[in-house]
Amino acid sequence: MAKESLTCELAVVGGGPAGLAVAIEAAKRGVKVGLFDENQKPGGQLFKQIHKFFGSKEHQAGVRGHDIGYHLLNECQRVGVDTRLNTVVWGIEDNRIGIIDGKASRIVDAKRVIIATGASENPLSFPGWTLPGVMGAGAAQTMMNVDRVLPGTKVLMVGSGNVGLIVAYQLLLAGAEVVAVVEALPQIGGYIVHAAKLRRADVPILTSTSILEARGKEAVEEATVCSLDDNLCPVEGCERTLKVDLVCLAVGLSPLAELCWMAGCKFTYLPELGGFVPLHDENMKTTLPFLYVAGDVAGVEEASSAIEEGKLAGVAVAEELGYLKKDTAEEEKDRIRKRLSSLRLGPFGDMRAQAKLELMRTRG
């Protein structure tokens, strides 16, 4: 079974924006880093995000997600991170993780472990939701922007948060028709700039409306939507049927925290951050002394905040392992924390900032 074990000072699980940022920050200070990702290519979900990012210049605002991805990959190579792709991390016990690369399973012994496994899309159940042609909005985004294949030609988008709005617009760019975006709440969930792009293209955004059913013989052929009353219940007589071959679900994401559960760190439940999230302190350390988290697994936000959290953890680990003096590390961490708080402004950001504070308070 297990071949000889590997050792490294920091094992990073997940090569998305957070994991890459941790690896870069730690490795450039001398930490021996091993990065493990189950995919063929690193970058996580960055390469499907072809829109320009928000924030200020230091958050690379105005740069498209895939360009940020290339930049991180180059940096990773430059600072000498031992990156192992096609490698599944199947378990964790104390400061050791189990990996499978190819067909061989082995143990990695690390001084510190950081889980940066991201999040997964939430499903939404309604009659017909399992039919082929009903998929996550992120799934459609991967297919059109990474694989360059259109998963459908006439689309109903369920959910008007930023993911729903951005993916609906990208479906238009890719050549699909977006028949409607429906939103159960009385107002649009995401940023108005994204909604405006859809409205300029004449895509209806129907608020107080949701999907009742998707129908089709072996795949989606039509979907029924209906107006909702103040209690979010369907209003009889207000159903209408749309001819669509793709229903995209953009109804939130949940942290992919299985390894954190397995490691045994403490959790709390915060709906603003996507549900159950591992407790962490202001250095991104969990309730276990060797275990850190960064990015969506530590509370669902955006790629830019995942990168900053990764940097924070990277600096903290470098300090703990003796590669950074306390003063230098504190200065560096302060700068990163300031950038993080500036990303958590506005009504959505503020909600998350409060939730993050509560999470850190709970950890104590």
How many positions of this chain bind another protein (CB under 8 A)? Answer: 36
Contact with another protein (CB under 8 A) among 10, 21, 72, 144:
144
Rule CB under 8 A: is residue 175 a binding residue for another protein?
A: yes
Cβ-contact 53, 304 below 8 angstroms? yes
Position of tokens 């992919």? 256
Rule CB under 8 A: is residue 306 a binding residue for another protein?
A: no
Of the candidate spans 101-109, 137-145, 155-163, 354-362, the one that interacts with another protein by CB under 8 A turns out to be 137-145
Contact with another protein (CB under 8 A) among 35, 36, 43, 45:
45
Of the candidate spans 6-14, 92-100, 117-125, 225-233, the one that interacts with another protein by CB under 8 A turns out to be 117-125
**Toward another protein, which CB reaches closer, 10 or 155?**
155
Rule CB under 8 A: is residue 89 a binding residue for another protein?
A: no
Burial of 243 (0-12, 13-18, 19+ CB in 10 A): exposed
Rule CB under 8 A: is residue 64 a binding residue for another protein?
A: yes
**Toward another protein, which CB reaches closer, 139 or 351?**
139
**Toward another protein, which CB reaches closer, 34 or 43?**
43
- Encode 302-338: b = buried (16+ Cβ within 10 Å), e = exposed: bbbbbbbbbbbbbbbbbbbbebbeeeebeebbeebee
Cβ count within 10 A of residue 240: 13
- In the bound complex, what is the minimum distance in angstroms from residue 123's beta carbon to another protein? 8
Position of tokens 């510190």? 112
Position of tokens 């991390």? 89
Residue 1-30 contact track with another protein, rule CB under 8 A, x = bound: ------------------------------
Contact with another protein (CB under 8 A) among 57, 103, 148, 200:
148
Burial of 237 (0-12, 13-18, 19+ CB in 10 A): exposed
Paired residues of 108 in beta bridges: 6, 97
Cβ-contact 220, 214 below 8 angstroms? yes
Rule CB under 8 A: is residue 100 a binding residue for another protein?
A: no
Angle ∠(145,74,302) on CA atoms, nearest 5: 50
- In the bound complex, what is the minimum distance in angstroms from residue 86's beta carbon to another protein? 10
Measured distance CA(56)–CA(305) in Å, rounded:
12
Structure tokens, 2: 């297990």
**Toward another protein, which CB reaches closer, 173 or 238?**
173
Rule CB under 8 A: is residue 121 a binding residue for another protein?
A: yes
- In the bound complex, what is the minimum distance in angstroms from residue 332's beta carbon to another protein? 33
Measured distance CA(192)–CA(343) in Å, rounded:
17
| Contact residues for another protein, defined by CB under 8 A | 38-40, 45, 50, 64, 120-121, 123, 130-136, 138-140, 142-145, 147-151, 153, 173-175, 218-219, 245, 256
